[in-house]
Structure 1
Amino acid sequence: MEFIKLCVVIKEKVLVFSQYIDPLKLIMKHLVNWFKWTEGEEVLYMHGKLEQKQRQTLINEFNDPKSKAKVLLASTKACSEGINLVGASRVILLDVVWNPAVERQAISRAYRIGQKRIVYTYHLVAKGTPEGPKYCKQAQKDRISELVFACSSRPDKGKEKIAEAVTEDKVLDTMVKHLKLGDMFDNLIVQPKEADLVEGFSILMP
C-alpha cells in the first residue's frame, strides 16, 4: 500500500502480477479500503475469465494517461504475449514461477514499444519461506539462459544506463530510508540485466 501511495504521488501507474486469484482479490480489497478507490476506475482487475473485448477495454483504460486508472491487478496467465500495458512503469511480481520466460513475458507487457519511462520490476519475496530458494534457482536459470543466448558483441553503454537507473528509483529509496517503512526490508537484491534496460529489484521482507 505504501509503495503504491508513493507511485501515485509521482504519477506513475503500477502493474501487479500474480499466478493466483486470491492475492489479487485481497489487494483489491485493501486498495478500495485504503485509498477509497473504486474497482473499474482507479483500480482495474484483469483475469483469465474476461472476454477479449473486456480485456481490450481494460487495456485502453489503463494506458490512457487521462483516465483515473492507477493500478492494474493482473493474472500472469491472462496477460500473455501481445498485450500492451505501457501505461505502467512499475511492475510488481507477487510470486515466483519456475519458468523465467513466464515472468519475462509479464514484464514485457510494460517494457515494450511505446513505453516512454524506465520500467522498474520488483519481486516481493517473504524471508524464511520456500519462495526465497525458489527465486534464487529461477534467477540462476534466467542468468544461464542470458549467457547462452545473449549477443557477445553487446556494447557497454547499456551497463552505464542501467547503473544510472538504479539511483533514480525514488520510490524504493524513499521506503528504505523511511524510519517506519525501512524495517520491513531484510535485504535488497538489485539485478540489472544486460539483455534489456529493465531494472529488477528482489525485495526480501520479514
Structure 2
Amino acid sequence: MPASFKLPYIHLQFPDLVAVEQKVRNYCLDRAHRERKWVGFLEHGYGYQPRDSIVLASQITGALLGKFSPQEVVATSSGELQFSVGVAIPSTTKHRALLTTAWIAEPAAGFRLTTAYINGALPEYADALPAYDPSASIEDAWTAIVERANEIVAGWTADGVWARPRVFIPRSGSTQAFARDLGCVSQ
C-alpha cells in the first residue's frame, strides 16, 4: 500500500540558513569531530577559511530552492520524513563536488539538515543555485548570493506547487551577530 506524507504550510518548509550554517560549521567542517566529514570538504577547497561554513550552507540550502529529487525517502518512527538530496557545489580542485545531504521534514518546520558529506553515489544532483567563486571574499560571496536570490525571485511564477524562494535570517537572539554581519541589523 502506498504511503503519503503531507507537509502543511509549504512556505515554512525551506531550510533555516542559520541552522544549516551551524550544522556545517560544527559538524561538516569541524576538524575535531569524530565523523571526519571535513576531510572530503577540504579536498574540494572548503574548510580553510572562516567564511566556508556560510558559503557551504548557502549553497546547500540554495539547491533546495530549485527543483530537486528527494532520494532514499523514509518515514521515521517519530512521524517525520527523512530524505536525501544530492547537491553539486563548486570545487577548487575539480569541476564540482558531489554532496549527499540528508534532511528531516516535519509539519510546520523548516527542513532540518542532519548530515552532508562528499559522495557521488546518488543518481541525481541539484546544482547549488548561488553562483560563487571559492576564492571570493565573504562580502563578494554574500553579494553573489543576494544577486542570485533576486534573480530567482524575479523569475518566479506561482504554479500551486512551488513556493516562492526566500532566505529567512532571524535578527534577534543568538543569530543577531550573524545578521549584523550580513547587514540585516544596524550596528
Q: Give TM-score scaled by structure 1 length.
A: 0.25
